[in-house]
Amino acid sequence: MHHRPARRTRLARALAGLSLACVGGCSGGVLDPAGPVGAGDAAILINATFIMLAIVVPTILLAFWIAWRYRASNTKAKYLPHWSYSGRIEAVVWSIPTLTIMFLGGLIWIGSYQLDPFRPLPSKSPPVEVQVVSLDWKWLFIYPEQGVASVNQLVVPAGRPVHFSLTSASVFNVFFVPRLGSMVYAMPGMVSQLHLQADKPERLWGTSAQFSGDGFSDMQFEVQSVPQRDFDAWAARARGAGPPLDRAAYAELARQSANLAPRGYGSIDPHLFHAIAMGAIAPAPGPAPEGQGHAGREKTPEGRR
Amino acid sequence: MFGKLDWSAVPFSQPIPLITSVVILLAMLGVLVLATVKGWWPYLWREWITSVDHKRIGVMYGLLGTLMLIRGFADAIMMRTHQAMAVGGGEGYLPPEHYNQIFTAHGTIMILFGAMPLVLAFMNYLVPLQLGVRDVAFPTFNSVGFWLTASGALLVNVSLFVGEFARTGWLPYPPLSENAYSPGVGVDYYLWAVQISGIGTLITGINIVTTVLKMRCPGMSYLRMPIFCWTALASCLLIVAAFPILTATLAMLTLDRYLDWHYFTNTAGGNPMMFVNLVWAWGHPEVYILVLPAFGIFSEIFPTFSGKPLFGYRSMVAATLFICVVSMLVWLHHFFTMGAGAAVNTFFGISSSIIAVGTGVKIYNWIFTMYGGRVRFEVPMLWSMGFIFTFIIGGLTGVLLAIPPADFLTHNSMFLVAHFHNVIVGAVVFAVFAGLEFWFPKVFGFRLHAGWGKAAFWLAFTGFWVTFTPLYVLGLQGMTRRLQHVNVPDWAPGLYVSVVGVAILALGVAAQIIQLVVSIRHRDTLRDVTGDPWDGRSLEWATASPPPFFNFAVMPDVEGEEAYWDIKRRALESQQLGPEPDYAPIEMPLNSPVGIYTAFFTFVFGFSMVWHIWWVAVAALVAAFAGFVVFAWRDAHEHEVPAEEVARLDRARREARTALLARLPREESAS
């Protein structure tokens, strides 16, 4: 899919280095991609910026040059009080933005197809399946093949694509690992798809990129990209180590809470994800009616739900 | 008896909203007492509150927008300072339930109660004057529209001290905004406030469309209308097309919340994504509703201060209508990341960036308007040049966000926040200030102090870039918006710099207020006696400053694209005004209290619906409707201004013009 990711990545890194606040070593942003999807997205972002700068910078300079040249105090500039039309200039001013947008339109067309989040990544190894459930206010990651699950901690094998299926138990959230690239909404009653890959073992971080309520600010999760060996070892260790993720454990987890430390589940209910997505399990509850007393909340149990 | 309303709705335990409410209440009380003691009420009632004069209504829209702009800016100061204090383990001073209300209120107020009224102020004031007519098509309807917008604004501000405002973001996406996840009254306040003001906006939109289509003065063909009228027409066509979508969408959410329906719920077949789809089908045209009149304002300023006609008038008209149509076809770019698929994303990505063709043409045409001109860098021109620079950068980042793979990295990030402030502040707010400096002498009869105006511009321009440049960088570092606290300590420097920017912006606001005070104090030296302080080109400069309530003693007869410029050139060549016209009596609409009456009861209705006080809601609705019925059965709706009165007022204007003519040199030979 990306023929020259290495060069693009270097360019992206160089630009990331330029951004001011990164001077003191930063936590890694979208211009510092750690995988092919992020590199592809960032390359389009940077290419499009340069294409547009090629038009924008001369236009700004032209604007200020003309304004200065024809200032009222400059008697050398010729005054043309009736000049208000020129077919040639009109043709040029319609053409410049049109041609630029045609060029960018091509970029949009090709980019949208190549980097469609639903599209599997080309790879020799089959993707790892991860089911993602956004909850108020934490992330649940279910590994159906490994039979384990974790909260606020995502472990993936480096160099191998990961296929995420995403849904939400309550409200909208966006699953986003900035350095891996494309983000996608997690929405109740729907399953969205996302294919990402981390190139090498690294510690990354992810977040929700859609405001989801009072605990939203803590909807971050750690992402560990580890060698395949370590991934297998992690899954084996997790199996049996934690409590089972059955319906009761899920119901407990689904209640509103924030800032949960990463935790694991030793076994899973294999139908849990689809039960959540298809509404077989009731949506996660919102705030308790009399919780956090603030004005205007429903105070009576017969309050509408 | 009082539904859900009781004393717990007043935030006695929360010092920030409590103190703010008390200060606002005292200020309002002070104004009321002052007006009573000074005996201003009869004047205010007669000349302003019940006035159906488009100019008075325009000024009141401007006042409302300015007050709300200041309220929204106060929210912005709190957001930026709080976030800078709540980074890397800091706690800040606003708990989530309060911070979330503030960013919701900031967005809602700035767009719907700040920018919209300000843009409508210019349209209301200028369109009839520029078209050479005496009022809008439906003057009383206009008053109803304004007062409904004002009562929506009041409802938002009441939520500060009775209950709470929505904590969902300025577009309340379900399911978060459904009862299950937002059981409080905040979303209800949002729904009724926006719904009521939305109806007001729709009324004004219909009014201006009708005015432009049906009420131009003799000779004012479509292709002779000033560009501002074209942009007002395009903007109001969008209002008429898009606001009903908002009304319907919010009505569906209201039914979900009040009657347990399931349009957008998680359960029983509701589809929350449909809300997102519908609300942006209004939300994106809304951006162009705001920005097109801003383009119109700049299109009036560039020719005037360059001393030559607008370059490529017909291109400008075409570009305006092009943007008007295409802006209805781009809304999906707000949710590329919901996984619509490559084909859909491609279509909306390309349609969104195509808008840049229209805006690009406009920018080149403004630049070439200056070519061959004699550019005077008065304050309106400074704002316009600041706009060109700021808006081009905002356009660049906008096209980036229209590219789906780039949006996959920047959706909902601080980069997005920086982008839309870049275009909305850079275009709409800059246009409002440019237009304020430009038309203030027309409206109030004296100019604004230039020195303080320049100071305000430079502070606002610098403050803007210092505030938002760091947000672009933070967005690229992965920082998302609406964070009540920021867990990544590396983002602290950017947030600190942004606070410095807000401080500079605050100085700009102060300079603007000082400018107003200084100008009022020196109004005699700044007086505009001629009605044409800037050497203007369109018909509003043909009347006195401020214009008489009937605008024009006789209807102008337009013979070219720049109606007033032609009249002026004829006068300069012949060294005299045209012969004195035959003055005839003028029919003008009567004042009407129906606007404020209806809006008052609509406010009561909205407030009672928020708190589930059903009996008051029903009574208020009946009362509001009764107002319309009584108004519909009126016997008289116009009064006649006698010809002598018209002649007396117009002769004064002609004397001032003749005196001006004697001072001016003969038509310059450069032509």
Q: Strand A128-135 vs strand B638-641: parallel, antiparallel, or unpaired? A: unpaired
A140 lies in the same domain as A260 = yes
Phi, psi values for residue A268, rounded to 5° = -130, 160
Q: Which of residues 404-463 of B touch A (CB under 8 A)?
A: 404-406, 408-413
A187 lies in the same domain as A164 = yes
Structure tokens at B380: 């309106």
d(CA A165, CA A173): 14
Structure tokens at B666: 């003969």
A90 lies in the same domain as A156 = no
Of the two residues B500 and A256, the one the predictor is more confident about is B500
CA distance to partner chain B, nearest, from residue A233 (Å): 30
Encode pLDDT of B466-484 as tens digits: 999 999 999 999 999 999 9
A20 lies in the same domain as A96 = yes
A155 lies in the same domain as A239 = yes
What number is the average pLDDT over the span B497-517? Answer: 95
What number is the average pLDDT over the span B74-87? Answer: 93
Per the listing, tokens 């939203």 go with A216
CB contact under 8 A, B392 and A45: no
Distances (CA, A) of B217 to A14, B56, B492, B536, B563: 61, 21, 58, 19, 11
Is residue B663 pLDDT above 80, yes or no?
no
Domain tally, chain A: 2
State what percent of residues in chain B have pLDDT above 70.
99
* Chain B CB contacts of A25 below 8 Å: 490
State what percent of residues in chain A have pLDDT above 70.
86
Q: Which of residues 27-46 of A touch B (CB under 8 A)?
A: 27-31, 38, 40-42, 44-45
Q: Which of residues 141-160 of A touch B (CB under 8 A)?
A: none
CB contact under 8 A, B403 and A117: no
- The continuous run of DSSP H or E covering A209 comes out as none
By residue range, what is the domain housing residue A260?
128-282
What number is the average pLDDT over the span B621-642? Answer: 87
Residue A101 lies in a domain: yes
- Interface predicted TM-score (ipTM) of this complex, two decimals: 0.89
CB contact under 8 A, A79 and B393: no
d(CA B113, CA B129): 25
CA distance to partner chain B, nearest, from residue A141 (Å): 19
- Put simply, whether A134 touches B (Cβ < 8 Å) is no
Structure tokens at A303: 């309050």
Structure tokens at A66: 């003309």
A272 lies in the same domain as A149 = yes
Per the listing, tokens 């009222």 go with A72
Residue A273 lies in a domain: yes
Distances (CA, A) of B477 to A179, B415, B420, B498: 9, 9, 18, 15
d(CA B384, CA B433): 10
d(CA B146, CA B155): 14
Residue A303 lies in a domain: no
Q: Please say whether the beta carbons of A216 and A259 come within 8 A.
A: no
Question: CA nearest A31 in B: which residue?
Answer: B476
Best probe of the B interface among A66, A133, A164, A259, by most B CBs < 10 A, is A66
- The confidence score (pLDDT) of residue B179 equals 87
Last residue of a domain, one of A55, A89, A114: A114
A90 lies in the same domain as A42 = yes
Residue A1 lies in a domain: no
Residue A290 lies in a domain: no
Is residue A3 pLDDT above 50, yes or no?
no
- The confidence score (pLDDT) of residue B666 equals 52
Structure tokens at A236: 């084996």
Encode pLDDT of A258-270 as tens digits: 888 899 999 999 9
- The confidence score (pLDDT) of residue A8 equals 47
- Put simply, whether B268 touches A (Cβ < 8 Å) is no
Q: Strand A244-245 vs strand A267-268: parallel, antiparallel, or unpaired? A: parallel
Residue B230 is which amino acid?
W
- The confidence score (pLDDT) of residue A27 equals 52
Which residues on adjacent β-strands are paired with residue B360? none
Residue B480 is which amino acid?
T
A158 lies in the same domain as A67 = no
- The confidence score (pLDDT) of residue B637 equals 80
Residue A193 lies in a domain: yes
A230 lies in the same domain as A203 = yes
Encode pLDDT of B201-226 as tens digits: 999 999 999 999 999 988 888 999 99
A275 lies in the same domain as A168 = yes
pLDDT band of residue B89 (cuts 50, 70, 90) is confident
What integer best gives the mean pLDDT of chain B? 91
What number is the average pLDDT over the span A159-163? Answer: 95
CB contact under 8 A, A30 and B186: no
Last residue of a domain, one of A114, A143, A175: A114
What number is the average pLDDT over the span B641-648? Answer: 89
CA distance to partner chain B, nearest, from residue A287 (Å): 6
- The confidence score (pLDDT) of residue B94 equals 87
- The confidence score (pLDDT) of residue B522 equals 92
Residue A275 lies in a domain: yes
Q: Please say whether the beta carbons of A203 and A128 come within 8 A.
A: no
**Residue A45 maps to which CATH number?**
1.10.287.90
Encode pLDDT of B146-198 as tens digits: 999 999 999 999 888 888 898 999 999 999 999 889 888 999 999 999 999 99
Is residue B669 pLDDT above 70, yes or no?
no
d(CA B289, CA B111): 11
Encode pLDDT of B229-264 as tens digits: 999 999 999 999 999 999 999 999 999 999 989 999
Distances (CA, A) of B169 to A67, A80, B315, B506: 41, 51, 38, 24
Question: CA nearest B170 in A: which residue?
Answer: A211
> B471-491 b/e with 16+ CB inside 10 Å = b?
bbbbbbbbbbbbbbbbbbebb
State what percent of residues in chain B have pLDDT above 90.
68
CA distance to partner chain A, nearest, from residue B65 (Å): 28
A158 lies in the same domain as A191 = yes
d(CA A131, CA B154): 46
Last residue of a domain, one of A91, A114, A137: A114
A275 lies in the same domain as A220 = yes
Encode pLDDT of B592-631 as tens digits: 899 999 999 999 999 999 999 999 999 999 999 998 888 8
Listing DSSP states for A46-82 in one string gives: HHHHHHHHHHHHHHHHHHHHHHHHTBTT-TTSPP-TT
pTM listed for this prediction: 0.91
CA angle B659, B665, B666 (to 5 degrees): 105
- The confidence score (pLDDT) of residue B667 equals 47
Is residue B497 pLDDT above 70, yes or no?
yes
**Residue A195 maps to which CATH number?**
2.60.40.420
- The confidence score (pLDDT) of residue B596 equals 92
